[in-house]
Amino acid sequence: MILQALAFYVFAFVVMASGAMVVVSRNPVYSVLFLILAFFNAAALFLLIGAEFIAMILVIVYVGAVAVLFLFVVMMLDINLTEMREGFLKYLPIGALIGVILFAEILFGLGVIGSDSGTLASLAKGGPKVLPIDNTRAIGRVLYTQYFYLFQVSGLVLLVAMIGAIVLTLRSRPGVRRQRIDDQLYRPVGEAVTVVKVPTGEGV
């Protein structure tokens, strides 16, 4: 029990420190690297509470795809840090307001403010007892029974978004010569092979 509590405090401290470094870091590449570190430690926190499915999804999807994509985009783009800092004071009140709202939502979810009904603290104290079942099977049952149609609609939305991204990046370039596989396969033998008769002793 003491070892689990110690691991929780260590992972939680690293997550909070990494989240703070994501915001205050001057280099965008370092911000993405700190974000990846925060994802890994958040996955470790999920493992401590027995939510191994969410932990693996966090590592595979967010670290393996989203954060790495952010890193590549930030490294490939020529970002002018001076121009980014110019609008900091302009959007500071809006950012502070959003931060206060998110902090209040966290306190409400933990039961620090507001009523205790339906909060995480009340569920931890005396929530309904459920049968011992792994969370992967439980999530699968809920997704493919109660939320089956919404799950399929979300997949269609992602498919449409992917097709839209492909269409937006596909550009028509009339001056570019493209490879035509059918013309290469069905061309006459005379056009494919050229026989040159070289006299003896003269070379090519």
Q: What is the pLDDT of residue 96?
A: 83
Assign 3-class secondary structure to the chain: CHHHHHHHHHHHHHHHHHHHHHHHCCCHHHHHHHHHHHHHHHHHHHHHCCCHHHHHHHHHHHHHHHHHHHHHHHHHCCCCHHHHHHCCCCCHHHHHHHHHHHHHHHHHHHCCCCCCCCCHHHHHHHCCCCCCCCHHHHHHHHHHHHCHHHHHHHHHHHHHHHHHHHHHHCCCCCCCCCCCHHHHHCCCHHHHCCCCCCCCCCCC
Q: How far apart are CA 36 and CA 18, in angstroms?
A: 9
Q: Is residue 147 part of a domain?
A: yes
Q: Name the residue range of residue 156's domain.
A: 133-170
165 and 111 together in one domain: no
pTM over 0.85: no
Q: What is the pLDDT of residue 81?
A: 59
Q: What is the pLDDT of residue 156?
A: 92
Q: What is the pLDDT of residue 88?
A: 66
Q: Is residue 62 part of a domain?
A: yes
Domain total for the chain? 3
73 and 16 together in one domain: yes
Q: What is the pLDDT of residue 57?
A: 85
Per-residue pLDDT of the chain (204 residues; tens, 9 = 90+): 688 888 888 888 989 998 888 888 877 778 888 888 888 888 888 888 878 888 888 888 887 777 777 777 766 666 665 666 666 677 778 878 888 887 787 777 666 665 555 544 554 555 555 556 677 788 888 888 888 888 899 889 989 988 887 887 776 667 777 778 887 788 777 777 777 788 887 765
Q: Is residue 70 part of a domain?
A: yes
